[in-house]
Amino acid sequence: MNQVAMPNKLLDVQNLKQYFHPGQENEVRAVDNVSFHIYEGETFGLVGESGCGKSTTGRSIIRLYHPTDGEIYFNGEDISKLKGKKNMQQFRRDIQMIYQDPYASLNPRMKVQDIIAEGIDIHGLAESDADRNQQVNDLLELVGLDKSHATRYPHEFSGGQRQRIGIARALAVQPRFIICDEPISALDVSIQAQVVNLLQELQRKKNLTYLFIAHDLSMVKYISDRIGVMHFGKLVEVGTSEEVYRFGLHPYTESLLSAIPLPDPDYERNRRRVTYQAPKEDGKERSLKEIASGHYIYCSDDEVPFYQKKLEQKKRQ
Amino acid sequence: MKKILEVDDLHISFDTFAGKVQAIRGVSFDLYKGETLAIVGESGSGKSVTTRTIMRLLANNGHIDQGKILFKGEDLVHKTEREMQKIRGKEIAMIFQDPMTSLDPTMNIGNQVAESLRKHKKVSKKEALASALELLKLVGIPNAEQRLKNYPHQFSGGQRQRIVIAIALICYPEILIADEPTTALDVTIQAQIIELMKEIQQKIQTSIIFITHDLGVVANVADRVAVMYGGRIIEVGTSDEIFYHPQHPYTWGLLSSMPTLEMEENELYAIPGSPPDLLDPPKGDAFYPRNEYALKIDTLEAPPFFEVSPTHQAATWLLAPHAPKVTPPKEIVRRWRLYEQKTGLKQTALN
Ligand SMILES: Nc1ncnc2c1ncn2[C@@H]1O[C@H](COP(=O)(O)OP(=O)(O)OP(=O)(O)O)[C@@H](O)[C@H]1O
Ligand SMILES: Nc1ncnc2c1ncn2[C@@H]1O[C@H](COP(=O)(O)OP(=O)(O)OP(=O)(O)O)[C@@H](O)[C@H]1O
Ligand SMILES: [Mg+2]
Ligand SMILES: [Mg+2]
C-alpha cells in the first residue's frame, strides 16, 4: 500500500512520554519521547524487546493511562481533550484493544456470550435478544469457535481459544482502529494464519486500521505495511516492512533479525546470533532522523552519513 | 537412554454445561532423561491438559478416566494431594501458559521466588532471597536488585514470564514442563532464555517437555517432537524426522502455514475447516473432515500408529501397506528432498 492512497493520519502520536513513578527512585521510563503515525487503512507493526514499552504505548492510546507528556491525536482530535459523554462513547467504540494476556483480560465470572456481547450492550448495537445471540454466534464463527462455546466460562478454554474470545469481543462493536497486542502468539500456526487472514480481510472490507504488536517478526513483516522497532522506551527504526527486513540498519534491529527462529533444525544448529549492546551514554542528542525516504533511524546528526552509507552498502549486496 | 516418565493411554474428560468434553483420548509417550521433547499441535488439542495432568493440576470439572503416568516407576495418577505437593515444584516443575495466573499479585517478586525454594529446601530467608536474586538476574530482569520489591503488575508481559521461569528453575527439577514459556518474549530474549534452559539441562540432566506453537523454536530446542490433534498424539519422531520427513497430513498443514520472510503470496495457507467437536468426537480419524488426503477408511476407523522408523510413528492410514501413494504439498516435498539428501533414503512417493 502506498501513502498517496491513504493520506489520512488516523492516529498521530507526538512525543509521547509515559513514565511510571515519575521523579521517584524507581522511575520507569516505559515510553520515552515516541512519535509515529498510522494512516487510515494501514497496519503499523510494533516490535521490540520485551519490556520496551509496546503495551504501554497501546494502553496510552486507549486512554488507560494519562500520558506524562506528549499528545495523541485520533482522527485529528486530541484524545486527552475529548469532551462529553457522547464523544467518549464514540471513542471507546472506535478504538478497541486485543490484549496480550487473554486470561487476565476476560472476566472469569462471565459466560463467553456475555463477554463478547458486553460492548454490543453498552453501545446498544443489538435490536433484540435474538439479534444479540445471532451477532455473538456470527462472531464466534468468524474467529473459529463453536456456537456451543457461548455458554462456557473463560477457564474452560485453551489459551488459544481464549485469545480468540478476545478478538471476537474487539470486533463486536465494529471499531475503526484495533490495537492488537500480541494477538496471535498464543495460537497454533494454522490458526495464526486464519486469524491474520481474517484481520486482513476485515481490513479490506471495512478499511480498518491496526497497530500490530508482536514478537514474531516473520508474521509482523507479513501483515504490516510499515514497522517501528522499539528498544528501551524509544523507537529506534521506522520504515516500510520490506525496507526494515531487508535493510534494517540500527544494530538492535540487526540483532532482532538475526534471532528469528526458523522451522529448520539444520539452520538452527548453525545459527549465528548477533547480540546487541546498547552504546554507552555519550551525551549526544539523538532522535529519529530520515536516512532515506520513509526510513528513519534513531541517531545523532553526525551519525546520519554513517547510516546512509550502511544502507547503500546493504542495498548493493 | 533412561526413561524418566511414561504416559500410557491417558484419557481425560471435562464436565461442562453443554456435556462431556473428551479432551484427551488415549495419549501415550515416553520422556527420557536429559532430553527435550517438544509438543506441538492445534490450539485446543490437549497439550496443556496433558501436561497439567502430569502435575495433577486438573480443573475441578476434569477427570482422569483411564491411563497411567509413571514417574520413576510410580504411578502419579494414584498419588494423594499431599504426596504430589512434595513432587510438584521440586522434582517436576511447570512453567504455565498464563504467567499472570501463576504469580501471586499480592506478594513482591523477590519473596515469591524465594518462597518456592523455601517450600522444598531448608534454607534461611536471606539465602533464599540471594538465590532468587541470582536467578532473576540470570533470566534477564533488568535492575533485578531494585525491582525485588515490585509486584507482578508492575512488570511487562515478558518480564512476568521470566519471573515464572525463575520460580520453576529454582529447585533444579528433574522434569521441567514448559508450556509456551517464551511466547510472550521477543526473539532475542527468547533466545537467551532457551540458552539458559539448555545450560541448566546440561548441568543437571533435566528432562524438558516444551510446548510451543513456534516451529522455529521447536527446531532449535527439540530432540524429539510429538504432534497433537484432537486429544491425541498423531505423529512423533526426532526433530529431523518431523521437520524433514513428516508423514501426517496435519503435520503437513502446520509446516505449510508458516509465512516465510521471502513469501510474496497475499494470503497465508491455513488448514481449512475447524477443530473437531470434543463433545462428540468423530468415529474415524478426527482430522478427516479437514484432510484433503483423507481415505474412505478415515471416516470409519481411527488410524493406529504406523512405524516409519524405530523413532518415528504416525497415525495416518496413508502409511497402511495398501494405501494409495499421494504427493504431499509443495513445501513438504521440498522438505522430503532435503531429507533424501541428508540420509540418502529414497522417497518412492517423490518419483
Ligand atoms: N504499572 C507499572 N508500574 C511500573 N512499571 C511498569 C508498569 N507497567 C509497565 N511497567 C514497566 O514499563 C516497561 C514497559 O512495559 P510494557 O508492558 O509496555 O512492555 P512491552 O514492550 O509490552 O513488553 P512485553 O513484550 O514483554 O509485553 C517495563 O519495564 C515494565 O516493567
Ligand atoms: N476446565 C475445562 N472445562 C472444559 N473444557 C476444558 C477445560 N480445560 C480445557 N478444556 C478443553 O480441553 C481441550 C484441550 O485444552 P488444552 O488447554 O489442553 O489445549 P492446548 O492444546 O493447550 O491449546 P492451546 O495451544 O490453545 O493452549 C480444549 O478443547 C479445551 O476447550
Ligand atoms: Mg506487552
Ligand atoms: Mg495450552
**Domain B1-91+173-351 falls in which CATH fold?**
Rossmann fold (3.40.50)
**Mean residue pLDDT across chain A:** 90
Domain range summary for chain A, segments of one domain joined by +: 9-316
Residue B65 pLDDT > 90 = yes
Q: Which residue has the CA at smallest separation from atom 4 of ligand 1?
A: B154
pLDDT confidence of A190, banded at 50, 70, 90?
Answer: confident
| Arithmetic mean of pLDDT, A35-41 | 96
Ligand 1 pocket, A50 CB below 6 A? Answer: yes
Residue length, chain B?
351
pTM listed for this prediction? 0.87
Pick from B148, B6, B166: nearest CA to B76: B6
Termini Cα distance of chain B: 37
For residue A187, the distance in angstroms to the closest alpha carbon of chain B comes to: 6
DSSP A157: S
Give residue A207 CA to ligand 3 midpoint distance, Å.
26
| Arithmetic mean of pLDDT, A197-210 | 89
Q: Which residue has the cell 539452520?
A: A267
* Dist CA B173 CA B90 (whole Å): 5
Task: List, in order, residues 6 or more apart from B109 with CB less than 8 Å away.
Answer: B103, B136, B147, B148, B150, B151, B152, B155, B163
The predicted-structure confidence for B318-340, as pLDDT tens digits, reads as follows 999 999 999 999 999 999 999 99
Atom of ligand 2 nearest to the CA of A149: 31
Pocket test for ligand 2, best of A153, A158, A190 (most atoms within 8 A of CB): A158
Residue B215 pLDDT > 60 = yes
Domain range summary for chain B, segments of one domain joined by +: 1-91+173-351, 102-172
Pocket test for ligand 1, best of A18, A54, A66 (most atoms within 8 A of CB): A54
Give residue B15 CA to ligand 2 midpoint distance, Å.
12
Residue B53 pLDDT > 60 = yes
Parallel/antiparallel/unpaired status of strands B36-41 and B224-229: parallel
Pick from B244, B97, B160, B308: nearest CA to A188: B97
Buried b (16+ CB within 10 A) or exposed e, B313-345: bbbbbbbeeeeeeeebbebbeebbebbeeeeee
Residue A117 is predicted with a pLDDT of: 95
**Domain A9-316 falls in which CATH fold?**
Rossmann fold (3.40.50)
Amino acid at B218: V
For residue B73, the distance in angstroms to the closest alpha carbon of chain A comes to: 30
For residue B58, the distance in angstroms to the closest alpha carbon of chain A comes to: 11
